[in-house]
Chains A and B, each alone.
Chain A
Amino acid sequence: EVHLVESGGDLVQPGGSLRLSCTASGFTFSDHYMDWVRQAPGKGLEWVGRSRNKANSYTTEYAASVKGRFTISRDDSKNSLYLQMNSLKTDDTAVYYCIRPEVRGRNEQYFDHWGQGTLVTVSS
């Protein structure tokens, strides 16, 4: 069974940094793309970014709102995904979810496995 556990959420001041972790189990981590999605309190879902798998050279994609400030990385030996968040803004306050998508059809990645989320609060 796929299991994803996020950690690292905390209260941080504007301009600060934070690193989130997602520990995965129940599947071969290196075979899969991994994503981050966030949800501000009382708001909708926002895709943050993606790490492709080893076969695709671990390349990454980011939402415009975080590009240049956030970095997604992974350590396949530890079955872990990371989100390094720098220059944090109050608008980054959200629950951050780790997702392991599933390939369907040609190569579309659908978000069928989600972690429970970790709360990041950016406030002075």
Chain B
Amino acid sequence: DIQLTQSPSFLSASVGDRVTITCRASQGISSYLAWFQQKPGKAPNLLIYAASTLQSGVPSRFSGSGSGAEFTLTISSLQPEDFATYYCQQVNSYPITFGGGTKVEIK
């Protein structure tokens, strides 16, 4: 199974900050990676797919990069509505797996 390790697991930041979350895969997954945002009590929301493609309707302050085994999600200027938990997911092979999550909280 492909393990996804996210770092950090917890992040405290201020509105306007640039935030970067890393996801490392235990083996190469090409660009078959997605990023999700989840708010309490809600289903996850797809932000980025194919490592760097912005899902329709997602603000352009979100961006993704990477390929192979190392990926990043960047929020260029953190907004109040961005405080949430973020997950990466690989769809390269079965079983599909998720990272452990990164909780972004207000400093």
Contacts and interface: CB of A to CB of B under 8 A. Distances in A.
Given A44-B87, A45-B87, A61-B95, A116 B43 contact: yes
A104 B43 contact: no
Interface of A: 35, 44-47, 50, 61-64, 97, 104-105, 108-112, 114-117
B97 A117 contact: no
A117 B98 contact: no
Interface stretch (B11-19, B20-28, B48-56, B63-71): B48-56
A62 B91 CA distance: 14
A45 B1 CA distance: 15
A101 to B, nearest CB: 8
Contact of A63 (B46, B49, B95, B101): B95
A96 to B, nearest CB: 11
A61 B98 CA distance: 16
A44 B95 contact: no
A109 B46 CA distance: 12
Contact of A47 (B36, B50, B55, B97): B97
B95 A47 contact: yes
Contacts of A44: 87, 98-101
A45 B101 CA distance: 8
Interface in B48-107: 49-50, 53, 55, 87, 89, 91, 94-101
Given A44-B98, A44-B100, A108 B43 contact: no
Given A44-B87, A110-B91, A117 B43 contact: yes
The 5 closest A-B pairs by CB, nearest first: A114-B43, A110-B49, A47-B96, A45-B98, A112-B46
